[in-house]
């Protein structure tokens, strides 16, 4: 395990938060939850038919120990969750509809987070991103002043740590979206011990080319200036002008970043997704995420191709976001 996760583990253990896993019968979830509980890192809550979860655990030789198992159908405070859900949805669901909706593990688990019965949620091992994100957007919602959630990756190799965003959610972000992404990505960086220096990326540096695509990044940078955030940033910058001091000196000599950016805001999902995968595969960096940003409480999405280690690490990240 990388040094980053050793640090996260030590910090999370001190608070021992509760993290919900709606896919309680999934082998990868069960094994990761058992490890987390045995190491006393956090308190897993597994959602599903408790008999089926117990049977699957026995089949796998997994000791559930003190792990909390909850079946929505038998939950003693189910009606209270129904009332809270109806109130939160502001007339978009009747009580009867809410009772059906909350039998879904993702919705039920998200309501546990919303009502402070848990501190965060990890799902996606057997569900699509939409199945995980939709309940979070409807119930937990984004923080005040944030219109959209975005997806970041922490890229780690040895002592090097960088934030890449948005690499997971918004296909064609507007200039407003890019400015928002810069702000929440800076917050994410600080959660993981990175003092943010944010570069808004383009294929142009300071007007070396002009197109609607480059102007979008220029406008995003201006919007960010108007928000006056407490971190250094600059754009529009090519990656080398944001990252390599000698190149920055030639291409953007007046840039406050001076080629030392560590948080990179990509102009679209195509570039973000391709970029992080190239750095991961060619550069040998560990790609941690996607981490959903901008929500009032942490909810994170696994890949359906994840393994036990991915579940373990994303649970640690989610717990860290909750602290």
- What tens digit of pLDDT does each residue of 196-247 get? 999 999 999 999 999 999 999 999 999 999 999 999 999 999 999 999 999 9
CA end-to-end span of the chain, whole Å? 21
Task: Look at residue 67 in the predicted model and tell me its pLDDT.
Answer: 95
Residue 198 DSSP SS3: strand
DSSP 122-176: EE-SSS-HHHHHHHIIIII-BPTT--S-EEEEEEEETTEEEEEESSSS-SS--HH
Task: Look at residue 298 in the predicted model and tell me its pLDDT.
Answer: 95
Structure confidence at residue 2 as a pLDDT band (50, 70, 90): low
Tell me whether residue 44 is exposed, middle or buried, using C-beta atoms within 10 angstroms of its C-beta: 0 to 12, 13 to 18, 19 or more. buried
Asked if 12 contacts 316 with a C-beta cutoff of 8 angstroms, the reply is: yes
Task: Look at residue 289 in the predicted model and tell me its pLDDT.
Answer: 79
Interacting residues of 13 by C-beta distance below 8 A, sequence separation 6+: 39, 40, 41, 42
What is the C-alpha to C-alpha distance for residues 301 and 120, in angstroms, rounded to an integer?
11
Task: Look at residue 4 in the predicted model and tell me its pLDDT.
Answer: 80
Q: Is the pLDDT of residue 1 over 70?
A: no
Average pLDDT, the chain: 93
Task: Look at residue 79 in the predicted model and tell me its pLDDT.
Answer: 96
Q: Is the pLDDT of residue 284 over 70?
A: yes
Q: Would the CA dihedral through 58, 14, 119, 147 be positive or negative?
A: negative
Residue with tokens 């918004």: 170
Task: Look at residue 123 in the predicted model and tell me its pLDDT.
Answer: 93
Q: In the predicted model, what is the mean pLDDT of residues 17-25?
A: 95
Q: Is the pLDDT of residue 95 over 90?
A: yes
Distances, alpha carbon 287 to alpha carbons 5, 40, 68, 218, 314, in Å: 13, 25, 30, 28, 11
DSSP 285-297: -EEEEEEEESBSS
Q: In the predicted model, what is the mean pLDDT of residues 54-79?
A: 94
What is the C-alpha to C-alpha distance for residues 2 and 286, in angstroms, rounded to an integer?
9
Task: Look at residue 188 in the predicted model and tell me its pLDDT.
Answer: 94
Question: Quick check: bond before 290 cis, omega within 30?
Answer: yes
User: Which of 300, 314, 310, 322 lies closest to 109 in space, CA to CA?
Assistant: 300
Q: In the predicted model, what is the mean pLDDT of residues 80-84?
A: 96
What is the C-alpha to C-alpha distance for residues 127 and 303, in angstroms, rounded to an integer?
9
Asked if 105 contacts 22 with a C-beta cutoff of 8 angstroms, the reply is: yes
Q: Which helix (H) or strand (E) holds 71?
A: none
Q: In the predicted model, what is the mean pLDDT of residues 95-114?
A: 96
Structure confidence at residue 290 as a pLDDT band (50, 70, 90): confident
Task: Look at residue 310 in the predicted model and tell me its pLDDT.
Answer: 87
Task: Look at residue 304 in the predicted model and tell me its pLDDT.
Answer: 79
What is the C-alpha to C-alpha distance for residues 64 and 288, in angstroms, rounded to an integer?
27
Q: What are phi and psi of 296, to 5 degrees?
A: -70, -30
pLDDT in tens, 127-163: 888 888 899 999 999 998 899 999 999 999 988 999 9
Query: Where does residue 242 fall: left (phi above 0), alpha (psi -120 to 50 degrees), or beta otherwise?
Result: alpha
Please state, for a pLDDT cut of 70, what percent of the chain lies above it.
99
Q: Which helix (H) or strand (E) holds 199?
A: strand 198-201
Task: Look at residue 73 in the predicted model and tell me its pLDDT.
Answer: 95
């Amino acid at each position: 395990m990388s040094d980053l996760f050793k640090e996260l583990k030590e910090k999370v253990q001190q608070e021992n938060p509760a993290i919900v896993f709606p896919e309680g019968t999934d082998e990868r979830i069960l094994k990761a939850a058992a490890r987390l509980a045995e190491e006393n890192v956090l308190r897993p809550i597994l959602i599903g038919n408790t008999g089926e979860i117990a049977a699957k655990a026995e089949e796998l030789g997994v000791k559930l120990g003190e792990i909390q198992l909850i079946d929505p159908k038998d939950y003693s405070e189910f009606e209270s969750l129904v009332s809270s859900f109806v109130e939160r949805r502001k007339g978009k669901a009747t009580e009867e509809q809410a009772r059906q909706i909350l039998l879904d593990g993702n919705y039920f688990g998200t309501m546990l987070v919303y009502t402070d019965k848990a501190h965060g949620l990890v799902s996606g091992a057997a569900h699509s991103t939409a199945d995980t994100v939709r309940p979070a957007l409807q119930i937990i919602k984004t923080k005040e002043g944030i219109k959209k959630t975005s997806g970041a990756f922490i890229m780690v190799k040895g002592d090097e740590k960088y934030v890449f965003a948005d690499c997971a959610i918004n296909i064609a972000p507007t200039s407003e979206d890019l400015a928002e992404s810069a702000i929440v990505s800076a917050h994410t960086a600080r959660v993981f011990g990175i003092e943010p220096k944010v570069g808004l990326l383009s294929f142009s540096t300071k007007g070396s080319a002009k197109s609607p695509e480059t102007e979008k990044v220029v406008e995003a940078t201006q919007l960010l200036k108007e928000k006056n955030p407490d971190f250094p940033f600059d754009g529009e910058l090519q990656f080398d002008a944001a990252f390599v001091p000698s190149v920055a000196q030639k291409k953007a000599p007046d840039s406050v970043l001076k080629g030392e950016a560590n948080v990179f805001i990509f102009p679209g999902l195509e570039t973000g997704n391709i970029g992080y995968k190239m750095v991961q595969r060619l550069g040998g960096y560990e790609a941690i995420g996607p981490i959903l940003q901008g929500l009032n409480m942490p909810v994170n999405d696994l890949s359906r191709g994840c393994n036990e280690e991915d579940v373990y690490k994303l649970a640690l990240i989610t717990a860290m976001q909750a602290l």
